[in-house]
Structures are given as structure tokens and as C-alpha cells.
Structure 1
Amino acid sequence: MNATWQGDAPPPRARVDALGWLLVLLRGAPLGLLVFGGLIVLLTIRAVERPVFGVARPVTPYITVFVCRNALRLMGIGFYAVGRPIAGQGAVVANHSSWLDIFVLNAAKRIYFVSKSEVAGWPGIGWLARATGTLFIERNRSKAAAQSRQFRDRLQAGHKLLLFPEGTSSDGRRVLPFKTSLFDAFFAPELRDTLSVQPVTVTYRAPDGADPRFYGWWGDMDFGSHMLWMLATPRHGTVKVVYHDPIKVADFKDRKALALACEEAVRAAHLHR
């Protein structure tokens, strides 16, 4: 994730009271056990899976889906989906509002995030990202060809690569303009004629009476305090994921046209949430 969008000041947070700290304990302990226990199981199975299947992962994706779906349940966030995740070879593009998107977008179908290379070095998050198969990229033209090959190899292995074309997270009340650079990899000769891209819209509904930006994570907001508040909240809202019809890359003349079509699909569903 890349929390650099600067919007209005974040909503004020009340101090965590006694009930809140109890919820942090009751939710945080099993959540940590679920996430890190699931990761240990995943890495153990992956140690066998890798030499047999290489880049393909026929077993471990199911562990990720189980962990992410139940993580939302433990936090008390309602989840529901409209439409169906893309089947077969394809990529996914979605709007980006929060670190919670990691759990939300993996809750229905295993996907692999495409992230800036700096995230690999972030404490905790970077380690988890590497362990779960995130594809790291650098914004360097000299690396473009090599990164296109990585896209191709992962997509041809059946991985669903997910991009956040906004390039940053927002307050959850808007969809920022899509950047087009990453769409260029989809037009590689070996991918263009067969590849489809699925736009996905993620919308959060705040708890009753809370600021509509409750789940947003942006600007200079601290991850630790934001997560603490999520755990301490007695009654949560919901998150809705809309899987739009996949779009064939071959139907578009270039990356800008494809990016615009994806952005319009995501934005239209977000406006009518």
C-alpha cells in the first residue's frame, strides 16, 4: 500500500475506554493467532508446493482465503460480495481505501498484490507481503521489460494479480484517477490476445453514527493506531465488493483506453454504493 494521498484531516478518534481495551484483547489475540498461525501453515505447505509446482500454487491460496475471511469475522466487519471473481487467467484492478483491503480482496478469491518495492522493507507488513507472494515493482524505466516478464510469468501461471491503479489509498469516499503505467504490461504480445482484466469496486459503510471516512487510511495516518481503533470498536459496519464483468485487453487500442474503462466501471459502482 502507498498511503500518500492528502485529503481533509482524519476523523477524530475518542480515547479507547475499558470496553475498547477488552475488545482489543478479545479480538487481537485470536486475530494474531489466525494470521500468524495461518502464515506458518502456508509457509510449511509452500516449502513442499514450490519444488513440485514452481510458481504455481494449487494449495496455499485456500489458506489465504480462509485466514482473510475469518479475520474480518473476528474484527466484526460484515462482508458481502456482488458478482463473481474472474476465472482462469486474468488480472484485477480495484480502488484502494485502507489496509483492510488486503483482507477484503482476499476473502472471496485468492489474489496476489502488485506493490511498490519500498513495501518489501516495511516492518511486519513487508515480511507478510513477501511471504504471501506479493509482486514488487520499481518505478524505473530501465526495469520495465523485466517487470513485464514477471507479470507475464505470474499471469501465465494462473495467478490473479491485483493492482491499485490510484497509486495510493484514500478516505474511502471517492475513487481517485487511475494511473495508466501498470496497464502497459497487459499489452505484451504474449498476453494481449488472451488476457482479461476485472474491475472491482470496494465500498465501506461506517458503523451507525460514525464518520463516513471511518475505515479510510490515508496521508500520514499511523497504521498501529488505526488498527487499534478497528479492534476497539464495539459495533462495526460493512464492506461490499462488486466484481464487474471482465474486460478483454484485446478490445482496447492502448493502456490509456483500458485504464479509463476500468476506472469508469469502478467509479460508477462506488457512486451508487
Structure 2
Amino acid sequence: MRAGLRGLIWGLMLLIGLVVLLLVRLVERPVHGLARPWTPWITQAVCRMSFPILGISYRVTGRPMTKIGAVVANHGSWLDIFALNACQRVYFVSKAEVAKWPFVGWLARATGTVFIKRDPREAKTQQGLFEDRIRAGHHLLFFPEGTSTDARRVLPFKPTLFQAFYSHGLERVMQIQPVTVVYTPPAGEDVRFYGWWGDMEFGPHLIKVLAQARQGAVEVVFHAPLSVSDYRSRKELAWAAESAVRRGLPYEIARAR
């Protein structure tokens, strides 16, 4: 019953938010083109309201950057999308398959998600797309691990996507902001309660979260932005961003000790 009630309220809120966003986009797109000065505020408001509905405590440490650049974060749960959207105006970079998912794909397309194919032959086209969005003032958000984890660890960052920041002079003007998403499980639950990874199905995990009586918490930690020009290669930049994200995750700190 709890899962059903929460799911109904949350689903209605998401649907209303999607309809409002699409209506506003009908005016925003012909007037502003690639730029999106209005609709990201709707996305941010909807994501922020999601946590009181779910009963999950939400906290932000640090501030999102304002200069031209991109954001990189660890990826431990589908809740990351809401947590990271709730405190900043960003556009996610996601695998192309997500665009075909029911409802989730519609939300992703409506909010300006950049979809990419894991095909080396598409690398040049995708790099051009990244450049266009970044130069338009969009903060693209990447998950450089390439997959989700159990929310307790950070996998090595793949440097491939960082190559887009070293082209046509972008490295001289842009920054990368590392962000750590930290989950605290409900009292008495497994520390991986909010983690969604591997072959786990979305539906059962969603129901588990919706049905939980006393929820835990999520914290988004913004680290100091990294100037791309300070790093000689994409590998050095990826390592610096990965190290910053690791420092914000308590489980990684404990492992290092």
C-alpha cells in the first residue's frame, strides 16, 4: 500500500512536470534554439520535490560551478538522476538504449539528455555534439565509470569521453567539476540498499524503495572544479576527477585506510 500510494503521487507529479515542460519547450525552442533558459528550472523543481515524496532525506555540500564546462560523478543508483538534477541545471549523457525505455526515455529526451552509441565509428560525431552543447552553455553530466555500482565504491574512470574536452580550444576555457553522490541506507538495512547495478531489474528495486517505511538519505558533494588546461592529457584529467570523487565517498575513504 505504501509503495502504491507513493508511486501514484510521484508518478502524477512526474507526469504533470513532463507536460508542463513540453508546453514550455514549444515556445522555448523556436525562440532560443539549442539554448534552454526556462525548462531546466522545471526539471530541477520536479527532481527536488521527488525526495519529500519518497521520504528520503536530501542534502547538498558545496556549490555547482557557473563557468563553461562539464560535470562528472559516480553512478550507484537510478536515484542519481534525481539527486544530481535537483541541485543544478545539467544535461545527462546516456547510452542510446535509454531513449527507447518506456516513460524514462520520454523524460530523458524531454529534459535534453545527450544519447550516445558505444561505437568507435560514432566517436567523431559524438565529440562534435558534445562541443556544440558545451559551447551553447550546457553543463553536460557524464558517468565516466561506464556502468553503475553498488553505491559503495568508485570504478576506474574511462578516459575516452574526456577527449571531447581537448579539441578546438575548449581546453583553454572549460572546467570539469567532480561530484560525489553518497547514499546512507535506512536504519538496519544493507549498506547497498539504494544501489542499483549489474543485472538488477528496475521494477523490483523501485518497489523496494517506494515501500520502505523509514528511508535513508542522499548527499550530493560538489568538489572544486578542475581546469582542463592544467592537465596534459585526457588520462591525467580522468584520474584527477576520479580521485576527487573517491575522496567524497566514505566507503572509499575507509577502504584506503
So what's the TM-score if we normalise by structure 2? 0.95
Percent of pairs with identical residues = 56
Identify the residue that residue 133 of structure 2 maps to in structure 1: 154
Quote the offset at 1:147 in angstroms.
1.0
Give the counterpart of 1:174 among 146, 153, 156: 153
State yes or no: 1:241 paired with 2:241.
Answer: no
Structure 2: runs of 5 or more not aligned? none
**Range 204-213 or range 27-36, more displaced:** 27-36
Identify the residue that residue 91 of structure 1 maps to in structure 2: 70
* Structure 1 residues 169-208: aligned runs within 5 Å: 169-208=148-187
State yes or no: 1:220 paired with 2:188.
Answer: no
Quote the offset at 1:142 in angstroms.
2.3
State yes or no: 1:105 paired with 2:84.
Answer: yes
AA paired with 1:222? E
Moved over 3 A (4+): none
* Structure 1 residues 2-151: aligned runs within 5 Å: 21=1, 23-151=2-130
Equivalent position SS for 2:137:
coil
**Range 202-211 or range 133-142, more displaced:** 133-142
Quote the offset at 1:88 in angstroms.
2.7
Identify the residue that residue 6 of structure 1 maps to in structure 2: none
Per-residue deviation, residues 219-244 of structure 1 (Å, max 9, x unmatched)? 11110111111111001000111100
CA distance in 2, matches of 1:36, 1:124: 9
Per-residue deviation, residues 117-145 of structure 1 (Å, max 9, x unmatched)? 12212222222211111101122222222
Quote the offset at 1:266 in angstroms.
0.3
Per-residue deviation, residues 185-221 of structure 1 (Å, max 9, x unmatched)? 0111231110100000001000111000000001111
Count of residue correspondences: 252
Quote the offset at 1:25 in angstroms.
2.8
Whether the 8 Å contact between 2:67 and 2:175 is mirrored in structure 1 is no
CA distance in 1, matches of 2:201, 2:121: 33
Structure 1: runs of 5 or more not aligned? 1-20
So what's the TM-score if we normalise by structure 1? 0.90
Whether the 8 Å contact between 2:67 and 2:174 is mirrored in structure 1 is no
**Range 138-147 or range 91-100, more displaced:** 138-147
AA paired with 1:146? T
